[in-house]
């Protein structure tokens, strides 16, 4: 079996990376962070014009119909360039949730079409997240009431803003009243929708964390090559080399875990949730290590506003507890690997189908 990415998938990743490199320079990100909304309508429009808001929308609704594997590549680029936008929440998590709604929901097709062209920002209030990202700037909020899924217009929600260490994270605590008019799913269907949304949100965080780790490693390597001590670049010192090598190793070990989880989600495998939890833990560990060693390479100045490292470091810290904290995902993983008859070992990475 061939598990390498296709040429089209790699071309897609490279095209997204080139686009974000020109559209999301650190200087632009700082100006967006310091604005009242923390969002750039111009950047959002350019993302939509590139078709990035349409990735998960079915083709018959004006989208590209791409799967979770494509998002595993996409979210890494969003993390690498620290995009200050809720693109993954709307175009991946919310789009998947809306697409799975019963066809008799009147506004379902309209919402999908609006997501595809970038005309709507959707915030997802999953029960695992006490605060809702982009609740204040959303046009529509998908909120939970027990097992029920409610689609609530922004005008019907009160939002109390909550500060984050990462200025690009615009969080809010929401207050609202569920009604029959806003309910779009309940019972077993609602539980399944929220479970799927949790897996997609978790995978999106894992991909961004891996992208952040890559960016922080690149920044540390660049700084180590330029900063001199005792007449030599600090990157020539063995202790610094070991720090950076540890980060590079963590990143390489996290990549296959992320891709295996994306494959499991894309193919609806029964153990997908466990693999997604594993991916988040591995990718966030790599991001934490990259942040810690990046600071050690930069020194205390790495915390300052003027240095780019702090932007990516704060994003990694903030995302670490999003879509389930470490305790939550370690519990899911422990239940699977400690279960009687657990399929463990290299021979069980991909099960052979009869």
Q: What is the mean pLDDT of residues 240-253?
A: 91
Which residues face 140 on adjacent strands? 122, 153
Identify the CATH homologous superfamily for domain 189-339.
Butyryl-CoA Dehydrogenase, subunit A, domain 3 (1.20.140.10)
Please give the average per-residue pLDDT across 305-325, as a whole number. Answer: 92
Query: Pick the residue with more confidence: 304 or 154?
Result: 154
Strands, sheet with 158-162, edge to edge from the N-terminal-most edge strand: 132-133, 171-175, 158-162
> Coil, strand, or helix at residue 174?
strand
Q: How far is CA 23 from CA 10, 69, 88, 93, 314, in A?
A: 20, 24, 17, 23, 21
Residues contacting 8, CB < 8 A, separation 6+ = none
Tell me the sheet residues that pair with 185.
Answer: 149
pLDDT band at residue 284 using 50, 70 and 90 as cut-offs: very high
* Helices 187-226/272-298 angle, 10° precision: 20
Residue 207 clears pLDDT 80, i.e. is over it? yes
**Of 187, 203, 197, residue with least CA distance to 275:** 203
pLDDT in tens, 48-64: 998 999 999 999 888 88
What six digits make up the tokens of 238? 């063995």
Please tell me the predicted confidence (pLDDT) of residue 224: 81
Enumerate the domain spans of the chain.
Answer: 189-339
- Residue 285 — pLDDT band, cuts 50, 70, 90? very high
- C-alpha distances (whole Å) from 19 to each of 9, 62, 77, 212, 350 are 16, 22, 10, 17, 34
Q: Which residue has the tokens 């089209």?
A: 8
For residue 127, pLDDT beyond 70: yes
Neighbours of 5 (CB within 10 A): 16
The per-residue pLDDT of the chain, averaged, comes to 90
Q: Which long-range contacts (CB under 8 A, 24 or more apart) does 107-115 make?
A: 107/151, 108/184, 109/61, 111/140, 111/151, 112/57, 112/58, 112/61, 112/62, 112/63, 113/57, 113/61, 113/62, 115/53, 115/54, 115/57, 115/63, 115/90, 115/91
User: Which helix (H) or strand (E) covers residue 160, if one does?
Assistant: strand 158-162
């Amino acid at each position: 079996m061939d598990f390498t990415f296709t040429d089209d998938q790699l071309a897609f990743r490279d095209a997204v990376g080139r686009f974000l490199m020109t559209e999301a320079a650190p200087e632009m990100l700082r100006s967006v962070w310091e604005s009242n909304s923390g969002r750039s309508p111009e950047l959002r429009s350019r993302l939509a014009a590139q078709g990035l808001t349409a990735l998960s929308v079915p083709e018959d609704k004006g989208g590209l119909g791409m799967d979770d594997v494509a998002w595993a590549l996409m979210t890494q680029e969003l993390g690498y360039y620290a995009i200050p936008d809720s693109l993954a929440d709307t175009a991946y998590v919310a789009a998947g949730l809306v697409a799975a709604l019963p066809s008799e929901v009147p506004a379902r097709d309209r919402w999908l079409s609006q997501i595809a062209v970038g005309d709507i920002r959707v915030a997802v209030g999953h029960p695992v997240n006490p605060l809702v990202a982009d609740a204040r700037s959303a046009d529509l909020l998908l909120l939970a009431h027990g097992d029920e899924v409610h689609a609530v217009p922004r005008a019907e929600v009160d939002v109390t803003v909550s500060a984050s260490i990462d200025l690009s994270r615009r969080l809010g605590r929401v207050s609202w009243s569920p009604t029959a008019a806003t309910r779009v799913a309940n019972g077993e269907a609602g539980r399944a929708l929220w479970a799927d949304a949790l897996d997609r949100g978790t995978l999106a965080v894992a991909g961004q964390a891996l992208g952040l780790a890559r960016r922080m490693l690149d920044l540390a390597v660049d700084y180590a090559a330029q900063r001199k001590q005792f007449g030599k670049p600090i990157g020539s010192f063995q202790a610094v080399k070991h720090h950076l090598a540890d980060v590079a190793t963590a990143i390489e070990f996290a990549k296959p875990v992320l891709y295996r989880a994306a494959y499991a989600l894309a193919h609806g495998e029964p153990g997908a949730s466990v693999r997604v939890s594993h991916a988040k833990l591995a990718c966030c560990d790599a991001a934490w290590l990259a942040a810690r060693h990046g600071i050690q390479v930069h020194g205390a100045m790495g915390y300052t506003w003027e240095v780019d490292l702090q932007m990516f470091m704060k994003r990694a810290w903030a995302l670490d507890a999003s879509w389930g904290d470490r305790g939550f995902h370690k519990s899911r993983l422990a239940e699977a690997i400690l279960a009687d008859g657990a399929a463990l070992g290299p021979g069980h990475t991909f099960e052979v189908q009869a």
